[in-house]
Structure 1
């Protein structure tokens, strides 16, 4: 076993479509989060936030291109070579033969991105990035959610949003929330709109398995999917991302009509949710949209995964719950000040991600280099001097 805790994969009889699939299964079984394949390079994997070589050889670009035709379809390569990035989901299913190292009935899914570019000496190569989607959705109570957040995670209606950078665990947290809802309140109908579908939420025994719709395959876009859902009596609507005006607009409407909509957005603090979403609208309609959003928002969570000194990762998060008193307070000021007020509450209560990272560093859970990822030198000096 290497110092990283991961040996190079043994491709046995050589590299082909089947041994590549076996490699993908091996990655999933060894807690790999991401697989990175590029021409004229070793296979590289991401494990607990660290990049590691995983193949004993460099893979030629033409070999990788042929594998792409076999693993996917021959029509896909010309599309990517033409400058079109491709996102899709991929699933491997086990059978009684135990192919690819999968047991009978075992299923592993991957979120795949294919993109052409220049990498090292390779002037033009198609890079594969595969996010391993765990077969089992982690129980919600295993995610270490704070008690008040856990208690308010599935309100009757409104909007709940998860923020953070790519790879911060937003999709996993949402999947765990949907599954928890299905397990504890089977009378609530759950639907999702995803790009692409990641976790398969349904299980045998569900009264009504969730209908998961994929952008580009089942629906043209998130907004159209939500509009269709409003005629299907859903209780909980999951949306991959609040990323454009149309999705934000119809998402707010869903919350106003008595549904619960859960989604993600790219923000670095809960207070950023208002400028991030409202600035998508024309200037003359922003005030009205801000008030509409305030009326339906139930909570905003921003999460980050930090590498720990034991070689794993821990989730830290900052969040705000929108109750009657907070809404009343915000109603007395311009919406442009709401974000600063919310972030100041979190700062005064010492619930920021940097507050938690500092405690993890002080107790030896994370290294100094990891602390520097979330804390600037000025912030660190303030913590050391006790004035943060």
Structure 2
């Protein structure tokens, strides 16, 4: 897409009433209305938004760093700026609520949530500035039945116990996918109690009419860490425990235990393929415990999904997924192999069944839905050569 077309599609925000905390909040709401995914603010730069996988200039002015410092205190809690200036990044969720006066352009009862990350950094000519990245959390949780999931995967998403893992890079839709699964469960099986532990809380799961509103624990506010949250939830008769991220040994062990004693846990990992999941989990485990822990993990794993979002030629994005569903046959096959080989075996299954990201992206390219440049997001140069050779043979 040319720069001219981008400008026509996404004109910068006017800021007709000047720049202050309230007009920035108006701007945040405007970004959500434009279906932006992210907002990037830092001193010495235009305001920038992420829109359909592209970065767009969203202000006509450059934000002076001293102005930005003052706005930070007005927009957010006053301890954030000194904390970040002291070299400690801050993650925080913020919420804007509409009222009878339609403040910020929100109707009464309307709510917008943002996941915010604040970090101090060098940016251009500024030795230090505070860089804010805001991820806009959609108010509406997507309908799981309309997310294009493969039939066998859809049927496997809500087992009675065990562990499911959703992987991908930052911004690949892991949290959105998880929220859609939770909401589908609440809508279709209200006898199952859903709880989550998050850092921070993103999608609000509860809706009017739910038999029991889902409880969502926030790290640092409600519990100290994920493992403590899982242990607390085990005493609260949950059916499904959502764990925001599998980030340390204590969390991993608590999640496996919860799966073993009859609960279903759903968590996320930063991985690039299903075959990376088990090795990534085992890096958290002392070497002398890895083999036994690998078999414990194998006994509870129900599925591993890894997702990427590809930019399409119509300016939107298309999800592609690699996944493995664990059944008795696969567990038996893996159990007969040395555990360090499990990841390669799972990725080989996906390759033989032509379900790699590369295979899916190639089909989308042949259909004209993604351009050649976007193929680089989904495959290596050697995979592209392989697919091109296959096409002409």
- Structure 1 and Structure 2 fold alike (TM over 0.5): yes
- Could you tell me which residue of structure 2 aligns to residue 161 of structure 1? 165
How do residues 255-294 of structure 1 correspond to structure 2 at under 5 angstroms?
255-294=259-298
Please state whether the residue corresponding to 1:57 is helix, strand or coil.
strand
**CA deviation string 1:18-46 (max 9, x = no partner):** 00000000000111000000101100000
Question: Residue 96 of structure 1: CA displacement?
Answer: 1.1
- Could you tell me which residue of structure 2 aligns to residue 80 of structure 1? 84
Please state whether the residue corresponding to 2:169 is helix, strand or coil.
coil
- Name whichever of 249-258 and 368-377 sits farther off: 368-377
Q: Does 1:54 align with 2:58?
A: yes
Q: Does 1:222 align with 2:226?
A: yes
- Could you tell me which residue of structure 2 aligns to residue 359 of structure 1? 363
- Could you tell me which residue of structure 2 aligns to residue 209 of structure 1? 213
Question: Residue 75 of structure 1: CA displacement?
Answer: 2.1
CA distance in 1, matches of 2:342, 2:135: 35
- Could you tell me which residue of structure 1 aligns to residue 95 of structure 2? 91
CA distance in 2, matches of 1:326, 1:73: 51
Question: Residue 159 of structure 1: CA displacement?
Answer: 0.4
Q: Does 1:66 align with 2:70?
A: yes
The answer on whether the counterparts of 2:358 and 2:384 sit within 8 Å (CA) in structure 1 is: no
How many residues are aligned here?
Answer: 388
Of the candidates 308, 311, 317, which is equivalent to residue 307 of structure 1?
311
Question: Residue 7 of structure 1: CA displacement?
Answer: 1.2
TM-score, normalised to structure 2's length?
0.97
CA distance in 1, matches of 2:217, 2:119: 24
CA distance in 1, matches of 2:283, 2:83: 34
- Could you tell me which residue of structure 1 aligns to residue 237 of structure 2? 233
Question: Residue 2 of structure 1: CA displacement?
Answer: 6.2
- Name whichever of 4-13 and 37-46 sits farther off: 4-13
Question: Residue 378 of structure 1: CA displacement?
Answer: 1.5
CA distance in 1, matches of 2:52, 2:362: 20
Q: CA RMSD in A?
A: 1.2
Show structure 1 runs of 5+ residues with no match. none
Please state whether the residue corresponding to 1:223 is helix, strand or coil.
helix
- Could you tell me which residue of structure 1 aligns to residue 385 of structure 2? 381
Q: Does 1:44 align with 2:48?
A: yes
Q: Does 1:111 align with 2:96?
A: no
Of the candidates 6, 11, 21, which is equivalent to residue 10 of structure 2?
6
- Name whichever of 16-25 and 271-280 sits farther off: 271-280
CA distance in 1, matches of 2:245, 2:80: 25
Question: Residue 362 of structure 1: CA displacement?
Answer: 1.2
CA distance in 2, matches of 1:126, 1:374: 33
CA distance in 2, matches of 1:296, 1:204: 33
Question: Residue 74 of structure 1: CA displacement?
Answer: 2.0
- Could you tell me which residue of structure 2 aligns to residue 120 of structure 1? 124
CA distance in 2, matches of 1:80, 1:38: 13
CA distance in 2, matches of 1:2, 1:201: 40
CA distance in 1, matches of 2:154, 2:383: 29
TM-score, normalised to structure 1's length?
0.98
How do residues 342-353 of structure 1 correspond to structure 2 at under 5 angstroms?
342-353=346-357
CA distance in 1, matches of 2:362, 2:243: 33
Question: Residue 374 of structure 1: CA displacement?
Answer: 2.0
Show structure 2 runs of 5+ residues with no match. none
Please state whether the residue corresponding to 2:165 is helix, strand or coil.
strand
CA distance in 2, matches of 1:36, 1:180: 32
CA distance in 1, matches of 2:206, 2:124: 43
Question: Residue 47 of structure 1: CA displacement?
Answer: 0.4
